[in-house]
Structure 1
Amino acid sequence: MNEVAQICSDLIRFDTTNPGSGERPAAEHVAGLLSEVGIEPVVFESARHRTSVVARIPGDSPDALLVHGHLDVVPAQPADWRVHPFSGEIADGCVWGRGAVDMKGTLSMTLALVRDWARRGVRPRRDLVLAFLADEEATGEYGAMYAATRHRELFDGCTEAISESGGYSVQVPGARVYPVAVGERGTAWMKLTAHGVAGHGSRPPKDNAVAELCHALSRIASYQWPVRLTPGVAALISSLADILGEKIDYDRLEEEAERLGPAGTLFKAQIRNSANPTMLEAGYKVNVVPGTATAHVDGRFLPGYREEFLETIDRLLGPKVTREFVSIGDAPSAPLDAPFFGQLCDALVAEDPAARPVPYVMSGGTDAKAFADIGIKGYGFAPLMLTPDLDYYGMFHGVDERVPVEGLEFGVRVLDRLLAS
């Protein structure tokens, strides 16, 4: 078995749940894997046990490429899983556990590749900066944001970056599609507060904060955001129509996304902004009207549509509910017509002649936002060949997360083609 599966299994065994006890043991393990083959890591902490690792491998060109990923994972309930989520069990041709897909499998591909290079004396095409980061599953404040601002010098010369949520296979009728991400929606996590008049629950209501907040949340939840086609999503839909050999009706994109199944999943959430109420808190006793009520909303906006999104939210909230950001990050995008995008696609086709790479915009967010702020264009490219029965999206933050061993080995070969001289 290729080393990549064992590295993945070992990384999963480190419980890096966020929130939790931190990433330090996993970061020290990664630093050891690099040091063992002569690659010198820089290890730093943004807070106690919130640990990241960065290393630079000199290449044939000082024009550098950043390869980044995160060490932390979301929580997992063992009772819900077929195997323990932190067992790293290798069974049925897969590595099982929390982080197998998101994204310790990808980190393992990078580690296996550079360790093999070091043993064989292979030099990359350009300088490579490897970053293994804390805190992506929260706001990135203790990981990518801290690294990009407090350790900016480690990323000198980096013009592009690759990371999660792209380069994986999606089986559609008659073809194997590989979405390569050229952007992602921006993040606006907001705390909403309604202020009213506190009083006895038996009296006629006057400025009831709970009611005002519920009305605002209802307006947000029921609002139908207009379709907004960004260049990346438009290019994706055009490519899918080509591959599937059929017309996609741009006037009925939501219905078309449902009709197209796995192919439609690639653009269903990416054709409009969104805002989902996720948390609600108010009151302390049934017969007391509280003076304030709060809620949290997960907002996402398309590249170029931040202002439209915020103006709409403010209109829906009305005058009696205020908002503040828990986290705000712009929607980064990278050029479709850049030579580097073509190189990403070529590397996939070289290893899978049946591959049909397509541009893609992610519905969620990644650490690419932090690096975009310092001028690094990010692409979602974590190459992985999946069997058709594996639901890639369902395994993100889901139960029984697992990654095929052969898929990981495929990813190492693709990265080798992309990055080596």
Structure 2
Amino acid sequence: MAEDRERTSYDPSYDPGGEVVELCRDLIRIDTSNYGDDSGPGERKAAEHVAALLDEVGIGSELFESEPGRTSLIAQWGGAGSGPGSDRGALLVHGHLDVVPAAAEDWQVHPFSGEIRDGYLWGRGAVDMKDFDAMLLSVVRARTRAGAVPERPVVLCFTADEEAGGHRGAQVLVDDHADHLAHCTEAIGEVGGFSTSIRGQRLYLIEAAEKGMAWMRLTARGRAGHGSMINDENAVSRLAEAVARIGTYEWPVRLTPAMETLLAAVGEIAGTAANPENAEALVEEFGGAARMMGAVIRNTANPTMLQAGYKVNVIPTEATAHVDGRFLPGYEDEFFDTVAELCGEGIERSYLSHQQPWETPYDGDLVDAMTRCLLAEDPEGRVAPFLMSGGTDAKHFRKLGLRSYGFTPLRLPPDLDFTALFHGVDERVPVDALTFGARVLDRFLDEI
């Protein structure tokens, strides 16, 4: 692809990021709020919009609807001079179309307006993850028009339901439509390639691992009765004690390979050798991002919902709580054994979602390509892997045996609390970060 890079770089009409801002604005304006049930608008309108954008440049796509309105898209692209049977296999590039809900009254701008203000594009999905969807579409459309189609086959995938665990999106594609993905051997997706600032040094983080997910429902049962009487089988008390133990438990530090590599890089910048004893101090170097980084050097379990009773003077038979549990690769047994001990007797556990963690070795041609492309656009930066505290569709696609990474390249200002914008109020992305990401992604497609 060196010929294409040379040709397109001298073609004044070729701009991989030329459409990225408007594409992102248009996607944000399509409300795809995912409430975790059947009450949202679904992703159909957004998937049809993406299909039309691809069709404009001659790329056919196929829509997959797991339930009415819950729509994912797959398109086959590239493969000039090779095909699905090539030894390298195809690269899966995936992004999700749904977003978490947003209450307009809490925002400075309407969350689905796609407003540009102060150099930022505002709106729900601006960082999670319609920014990457727009980068990918802008680059693919520009390259296709310029005849710069990658020699390696690429599968473009836009999914439904990622924000509720991917069960109606990526999981359905893997379980029921794997033939469209069978030729893929590697994948890139969200949450990685963004910059953070450590003592004035820009450090780009590539996701190479994710914690496992255990969304748990805890149930306590007891003896119903009048609220004025003594009751030593109170379900509410029993559940509250378990929830308090879980919520206040201090999980020990555990370093996985990705985090050992990242903290070694941070330690080098900070002038100290990284080790488990100073891991928490090194995490503090991330500033606002320490909330996320502190969660990936240990297992976590956060109570999030409580429900019991129907009248103040009635002791109920049953009380329930929900806990968002996340566990590190290699520490699954420790997590579940500890949760069981903290729950104690008389607490039943069931799972709303139970997904395994993953970790991909931080090496190989794809990692080298991501690193080179970031540093080509920002020679003063550094690149390192990290472990993601949340979950992405990679959990499902990994079941196909793919080497997976999070790579949504963004060069961010050092004073932006970026990780707080995920699912946060006033979600926004710098306009110049979108064009930076498109340029990096364009270079990356030359390298794959």
TM-score with structure 2 setting the length:
0.91
8 Å contact from structure 1 (residues 256, 264) kept in 2: no
Distance 2:151 2:262 in 1: 29
Counterpart check, 1:343 vs 2:363? no
Distance 1:311 1:85 in 2: 41
Counterpart check, 1:38 vs 2:54? no
Displacement of 1:335 after TM fit?
1.0
Displacement of 1:261 after TM fit?
2.4
| Aligned 1:321-332 pairs, distance under 5 A | 321-332=347-358
Counterpart position of 1:170 = 196
Runs of 5+ consecutive residues of structure 1 not aligned to the other structure: none
**1:368-390 CA distances to partner (integer Å, 9 max, x unpaired)?**
10011121221011001112232
Displacement of 1:55 after TM fit?
0.4
1:69 to 95, 102, 110: 95
| Aligned 1:366-385 pairs, distance under 5 A | 366-385=392-411
Distance 1:291 1:255 in 2: 46
Tell me the SS of whatever aligns to 1:43: strand
2:168 to 142, 162, 169: 142
| Aligned 1:12-411 pairs, distance under 5 A | 12-19=28-35, 20-60=40-80, 61=82, 62=86, 63-248=89-274, 250-258=276-284, 261=287, 264=290, 267-411=293-437
8 Å contact from structure 1 (residues 167, 382) kept in 2: yes
Tell me the SS of whatever aligns to 1:169: strand
Displacement of 1:258 after TM fit?
2.8
Counterpart position of 2:25 = 9
8 Å contact from structure 1 (residues 170, 262) kept in 2: no
Give, as a single letter, the amino acid of the residue that structure 2 aligns with 1:7: L
Distance 2:184 2:270 in 1: 37
Distance 2:70 2:275 in 1: 47
Displacement of 1:262 after TM fit?
5.4
Distance 2:278 2:417 in 1: 25
Give, as a single letter, the amino acid of the residue that structure 1 aligns with 2:28: I
Moved over 4 A (4+): 262-266
Displacement of 1:194 after TM fit?
0.5
Tell me the SS of whatever aligns to 1:100: coil
8 Å contact from structure 2 (residues 19, 138) kept in 1: yes
Structure 1 range deviating more: 75-84 or 255-264: 255-264
Give, as a single letter, the amino acid of the residue that structure 2 aligns with 1:17: S
Structure 1 range deviating more: 252-261 or 160-169: 252-261
Distance 1:127 1:308 in 2: 41
Displacement of 1:339 after TM fit?
2.6
Distance 1:174 1:204 in 2: 61
Distance 2:372 2:270 in 1: 21
Distance 2:321 2:289 in 1: 34
Displacement of 1:356 after TM fit?
0.3
**1:140-197 CA distances to partner (integer Å, 9 max, x unpaired)?**
1111111111111111221111111110111221311000110011100000001111
Tell me the SS of whatever aligns to 1:253: helix
Give, as a single letter, the amino acid of the residue that structure 2 aligns with 1:170: T
Distance 2:337 2:280 in 1: 24
Displacement of 1:249 after TM fit?
5.3
Give, as a single letter, the amino acid of the residue that structure 2 aligns with 1:75: P
Displacement of 1:36 after TM fit?
0.7
Distance 1:393 1:88 in 2: 20
Displacement of 1:255 after TM fit?
3.9
Tell me the SS of whatever aligns to 2:415: coil
Distance 1:104 1:203 in 2: 55
8 Å contact from structure 1 (residues 237, 267) kept in 2: no
8 Å contact from structure 1 (residues 171, 177) kept in 2: yes
Give, as a single letter, the amino acid of the residue that structure 1 aligns with 2:67: A
Distance 1:339 1:118 in 2: 24
Distance 2:292 2:382 in 1: 14
8 Å contact from structure 1 (residues 187, 365) kept in 2: yes
Distance 1:175 1:252 in 2: 20
Tell me the SS of whatever aligns to 1:179: strand
Distance 1:250 1:21 in 2: 46
Question: Over aligned residues, Cα RMSD in angstroms?
Answer: 1.6
**What's the % identity of the aligned pairs?**
53
Tell me the SS of whatever aligns to 2:337: helix
Give, as a single letter, the amino acid of the residue that structure 2 aligns with 1:240: V
Tell me the SS of whatever aligns to 1:202: coil
**1:103-149 CA distances to partner (integer Å, 9 max, x unpaired)?**
00100000000101111111214111011111111121111111111
| Count of matched residue positions in the alignment of Structure 1 and Structure 2 | 421
8 Å contact from structure 1 (residues 174, 244) kept in 2: no
Distance 1:258 1:393 in 2: 14
Structure 1 range deviating more: 22-31 or 76-85: 76-85
8 Å contact from structure 1 (residues 9, 95) kept in 2: yes
Tell me the SS of whatever aligns to 1:25: helix
Give, as a single letter, the amino acid of the residue that structure 1 aligns with 2:77: I
Runs of 5+ consecutive residues of structure 2 not aligned to the other structure: 1-16
